[in-house]
Amino acid sequence: MRDYADQLERRLLAASASLAQVPVVPRRRRHPGAQRLAMSLGAVLAAVLVGLSVSGVFAGGSGTAWGAELVSFANASPLVILDQAGWQIDYANETSAQDGELHFTTAPTPTGPSAEDNSTDAQLSWFDGTLSTSMADLASSADLTTTAPVLGTVAHVYQYAYGQPGNQDIAALWAYDGRVLDFRAGAADIAAFESLLASLRAVDTNTWLSALPESVVQTTDRAAVIASMLQGVTLPPGFDPSTITGSDLTSDRYQLGAWVTGTVACTWLKLWSDARSSGDAAGVQQAISAMATAPNWPILKEMSKSGGYPQVLEEMAADMPSGRWYNQPLEDAANSGLGCPARGVPLAAPGSSTGGPAPLPSSG
């Protein structure tokens, strides 16, 4: 069981690599509100964030007109950015109306006594919940605990054994604007991490939106973008793209690609699992043959340039004939590795009493 967990953790950490292949910030534990699969799966390719000149827009102070959905995303966030030279947002993701995250990246700085910060990767998450619960979760596995000022309040800071000299794994938690904020980064030491914390700034809506990367996909474009992503993908019978969950949330192209391909894959895997359970050999083979085409799906080829999610999906497809992935039922692996429950298609391993059947997407 431990070997399986270690393998899955390594696969999913690889799956969250960013566009520039920036090293992932190792996370000892995640808060329950951030369902980021490795989803955290954070990578970015091109899709254009454009100002809309139609009804339902917000005109920023710079004269930019923002789509209403993006304004809603901004105002649902804490409106906080990392304001330090060299840092920029490389993706944004909204996991619910209350939860979301920003990922920041910068080029690594030289190591040595004069290096203030050797960070290359940082993440700010916000979510509903209690600070005490989140603190208990992080503190239970921290090697060092301290506090530091941030945004007019005090953050609880935790350092872990992960990381390496010049790039330590450090996290901070604090209550802000009615939610819990979680900031994580690789930093040379606690002092360098505190420098990053001190650089977090509360900004207005226009400034926050102006800091987003062009890769953020607008909700108003979702149907067309999803349709284009499904080109060349082998779809299950009756698959309805409108049933893809999370279509009303703002995210980048890689994240959306993970939702789209993950929903397709989970639906095929459910058909395969149900067919195995009922002894439907033809149904089993149909699903295996369909998923064997995954390496040729254009959207997965595109995503593979930015992160490891396609590799996880393709490995699971290749293991369908055996029904096992790293010595665990493939259904369990898909639930964890592809996020099938979050996509509305939870899988139940043979003999399991949990994660029961979910209705398949239909065209009707």
For residue 269, the enclosing domain spans: 218-343
Using one digit for the tens of pLDDT, what is the confidence trace for 207-257? 988 888 776 655 456 788 889 999 999 999 999 998 887 655 666 788 888
Q: Is residue 301 part of a domain?
A: yes
Same domain? For 197 and 225 the reply is no
Domains of the chain: total: 2
Any domain includes 324: yes
- 3-state SS, the chain, equals CHHHHHHHHHHHHHHCCCCCCCCCCCCCCCCCCCCCCCCCCCCCCCCCCCCCCCCCEEECCCCCEEEHHHHHHHHHCCCEEECCCCCEEEEEEECCCCCEEEEEECCCCCCCCCCCCCCCEEEEEEECCCHHHHHHHHHCCCCEEEEEEECCEEEEEEEEEEEECCEEEEEEEEEECCEEEEEEEEECCHHHHHHHHHCEEECCHHHHHHCCCCCEECHHHHHHHHHHHCCCCCCCCCCCHHHCCCCCCCEEHHHHHHHHHHHHHHHHHHHHHHHHHHCCHHHHHHHHHHHCCHHHCHHHHHHCCCCCHHHHHHHHHHCCCCCEECCEEHHHHHHHHCCCHHHCCCCCCCCCCCCCCCCCCCCC
pLDDT digits (tens, 9 = 90+) for 97-113: 788 888 898 865 444 43
The alpha carbons of the chain give a radius of gyration, in whole angstroms, of 21
Judged against a pLDDT cut of 50, whether residue 89 lies above it is answered with: yes
Decide which of 272 and 308 is more confident: 272
Any idea what the CATH number is for the domain that residue 111 is in?
A: 3.40.1000
Instruction: Write down the pTM of the prediction.
Output: 0.56
Query: For position 134, what pLDDT does the model report?
Result: 83
Q: Is residue 358 part of a domain?
A: no
Interval 25-76: pLDDT, tens: 222 333 333 332 233 322 222 222 222 222 233 344 444 557 677 787 888 8
Residues 152 and 291 in one domain: no
User: Does one domain contain both 74 and 91?
Assistant: yes
The answer to whether residues 171 and 205 belong to one domain is: yes
Please check whether residue 149 lies inside any domain of the structure.
yes
pLDDT tens-digit series, residues 118-147: 457 899 999 888 888 888 878 777 788 899
Domain stop point among 147, 178, 210: 210
Half-sphere exposure of 168 (CA within 13 A, CB side): 20
